[in-house]
A = this chain, B = another copy of it.
Amino acid sequence: MLQKPLSVTFEDRPTPSLDSPYDVLLQVNYTGICGSDIHYWQHGRIGHFVVKDPMVLGHESAGTVVQVGDKVRSLKEGDKVAMEPGVPCRRCVRCKEGKYNLCADMAFAATPPYDGTLAKYYTLPEDFCYKLPAGVSLEEGALMEPLAVAVHITKQSGVKHGDSIVVFGAGPVGLLCCAVAKALGASKIVSVDIQENRLEFAKKYAATATFVPAKVAAKENADRLVRENDLGLGADVAIDASGAEPSVQTAIHVLRMGGSYVQGGMGRDEITFPIMAACTKELTVKGSFRYGSGDYQTAVDMVASGKVDVKSLITRKVSFEDAEQAFEDVKAGKGIKVLIEGPK
């Protein structure tokens, strides 16, 4: 539990009760550590979300059903599920038009004032639990959250079979965007990062090519990327999963007329942006926020069918008691994804 910045504690808390007949009580088995957890831990806030009261961290979890409400039909005790950690109001215009990730009344795990999933038990509505098919482990289940992020970003991009795509950033989400683009049939997938070792992983993992930007103007990097990868008049799609200003700029310049760009990475509030290139090339630039209708299910399907491999992103697993050390390691950039077990 995050008491205040830099101060986490372990607490015994009462087992939550089922508020609704549609709810399910879950024992949490694995929870991945995300950059946002690290950020709350370090700074106590992300943008206008401020941790005022002590808050449980964690939102990348898989668990086991221990109790179901009276009206639950699709789940039973013992089922293993991936846990979608944000529950919308279901009543506003955004929810009813099929964009529940844009709901203004979303209750999202580990976003103040809502507790996260790094706890023994957690309750969720049945329809935000995704039963893991045979052959998909609980560890993989915990990875469905970043994969759903990547699925949403990639769907936002509109990438189609045969398209070329450039993905900036080779952290967990960038890598998963490459994998999703591959599953959707992208023909060329260029992974861009400043760390060579990440690109080596990306190449083996899902990218068809890699690119290390030089310390030159964004346009110059973009031109070289297009040339080296034989992208003709430019890439069809570009995704930023880095949040870095030069990545965004390069991405805009790398696109062809009518290309599509998605901002997936979080970074500075304002950046210098090549707006006239976006205008005269008639680009479509979209933000991507969390995940929405169908994204978690797509994530589960892609792993179950073997199209996306999430296992190889799991660097190591630590016990609940070692969680704080794991936070330190993630902050230091060690490994790709660390899972916290239990607590038991």
Interface residues of A (CB under 8 A from B): 22, 47, 90-102, 104, 125-127, 156, 161-162, 183-185, 187, 233, 248, 257-258, 263-264, 266-289, 293-294, 297-298, 301-302, 305, 307
Contact = CB atoms under 8 A, between A and B. Distances in A.
A305 B216 CA distance: 35
Given A127-B91, A127-B92, A285-B278, A270 B272 contact: yes
A231 to B, nearest CB: 13
Nearest to A299: B162
Nearest to A96: B293
Given A97-B98, A162-B297, A269 B275 contact: yes
Contact of A102 (B104, B258, B305): B258
B270 A93 contact: no
A218 to B, nearest CB: 10
- Count the copies: 4
Q: Nearest 5 pairs between A and B by C-beta?
A: A98-B98, A273-B273, A279-B287, A285-B285, A102-B257
A203 B156 CA distance: 34
Contacts of A275: 248, 263, 267-271, 273
A96 B88 CA distance: 10
A282 B286 contact: yes
A94 B273 CA distance: 25
Contacts of A102: 257-258, 281-282
A278 B287 contact: yes
Contacts of A268: 275-276
A187 to B, nearest CB: 6
A256 B248 CA distance: 23
A209 B298 CA distance: 21
Nearest to A280: B289
A226 to B, nearest CB: 14
A90 B287 CA distance: 26
